[in-house]
A = this chain, B = another copy of it.
């Protein structure tokens, strides 16, 4: 990986001086166009060995471009707010919006490299991280970003030489610390780990550029030229998103699918409802106060047709909880700041802290439901979204979050009845709009999208629970019970520690039961309380 960056590359001062004005003008022009278009963000990762010139490279970019539209993102020790979220949260919250250039001094590569060197990660785990990183960067690029990764390289001798130089100048001596010399000792190990990781994460979409760091003019000019070429090419690139395949024909020619298999006639009597409601709310209240929840969090996802009863179900959950412990996030059209980011960004920003719950009323699944059906995004976009969503939820689970997802299914007739009812009640009238009536017309298309969604995003770790929701009482109890069971299973002693949430969810009986019940909808009528 580093061979061609140890050749003693050199550029003369004269050539440097001759080339810089045009380079600078081109970079500045590209920056202006980038800002004017407001179409894509640029992510520049500046990595490399200590003393190789990462800092100097960044400074040169500031000198050449307009510092007002540059941000440098540095990642020191994570704050308490960051430690209570998935490891990628701090990078998501720092992503530059469209139109801006973000320089990453430190990135999602820093931790895996450090951890592999100290032995905290096995080789296999490092490869898993590499795969995860590749998917993350592919997502960024698919969402329009230009991702350029520079590795400024120094040979071991050059590094030693560099430290000596820095030390001998009183203006730079402070930059050489005992840690620097320590770094020389682990030089070989760093080469081994980083060259492997770079190789595994060098993709056409987000390539690595290894730059020899010794000669300042060569280093700066190389970075500048590569950046200019990439910016120019990306800005000229008007290719629409790849068309993607037509949605595959569904296999349910016999009319049987996970939704049609649900028994929507399931009901629950008033008395049983009241008893169960009180009992389950009490149980939920206790679980949310469980000391073992203090290092976990809960993400609740509600999806369902209009008027399926999401709001009512959320209200029954909220009633059992301390208001200081949860937030309800109603998902509507994204704001301007959210539109300037990858579509998952607006959900990442609401990822809850430890001991907290985030209840999403509609979710990231909008991408494969309403956006797919209404054509708000290209086929290629929603088709890749399944994988992106699976990655997102996996990261949540890895960080100890408990992810519980409900689809509330009602019949077309029941929906019509509820729409009409809503129009009668003053304070419910606002809930029903023209759009709701229009959506009804696409019922079958939506149902097919839901079936695809369940097939592609349900797993033992993050199962979908399909809820027979024609009877509100039945639905609310099923939701509350499922939630309690999932929470209880996840808080079992074996799963208290961070990273163990995954195993807990996989092995817990409750989780397995749920998927089965949801998929097959076999709960016999009349025994609804065990649905």
Contact = CB atoms under 8 A, between A and B. Distances in A.
A345 interface: no
Contacts of A426: 25, 29
Interface string A71-98: 1101000011100000000000000000
A63 B63 CA distance: 57
A324 B76 CA distance: 10
A513 to B, nearest CB: 28
A189 B78 CA distance: 40
A322 B427 contact: no
Contacts of A79: 79-81
A469 to B, nearest CB: 18
B68 A328 contact: yes
Contact of A324 (B72, B171, B311): B72
A337 B333 CA distance: 13
A449 interface: no
Contact of A430 (B32, B55, B337): B32
Contact of A28 (B55, B58, B74, B427): B427
Contacts of A28: 427
Contacts of A63: 315, 319
Contact of A68 (B24, B58, B330): B330
Interface in A167-226: 171, 174
A431 to B, nearest CB: 9
B29 A427 contact: yes
Stoichiometry (number of copies) = 2
B337 A62 contact: no
Nearest to A82: B81
A324 B174 contact: no
Contacts of A328: 67-68, 70-71
Q: Which of the four size classes fits the interface of chain A?
A: 35 or more
Contact of A59 (B25, B323, B330, B361): B323
Q: Is the interface of A mostly helix, strand, loop or mixed?
A: helix
Nearest to A78: B80
A54 B121 CA distance: 47
A314 interface: yes
Interface string A320-338: 0011111110100001110
A318 B62 contact: yes
A430 B35 CA distance: 11
B311 A66 contact: yes
Contacts of A318: 62, 67
Given A318-B67, A361-B68, A427 B324 contact: no
Contacts of A71: 327-328
A62 B68 CA distance: 44
A275 interface: no
15 contacts: A25-B427, A32-B427, A55-B322, A59-B323, A62-B318, A66-B311, A67-B328, A68-B311, A68-B314, A69-B330, A72-B323, A79-B80, A81-B81, A174-B289, A335-B337
Given A67-B318, A68-B330, 9 more contacts: A25-B427, A28-B427, A67-B314, A68-B311, A68-B361, A72-B327, A74-B323, A103-B323, A335-B337
Interface of A: 24-25, 28-29, 32, 36, 55, 58-59, 62-63, 66-72, 74, 79-81, 103, 105, 171, 174, 282, 289, 311, 314-315, 318-319, 322-328, 330, 335-337, 361, 426-427, 430
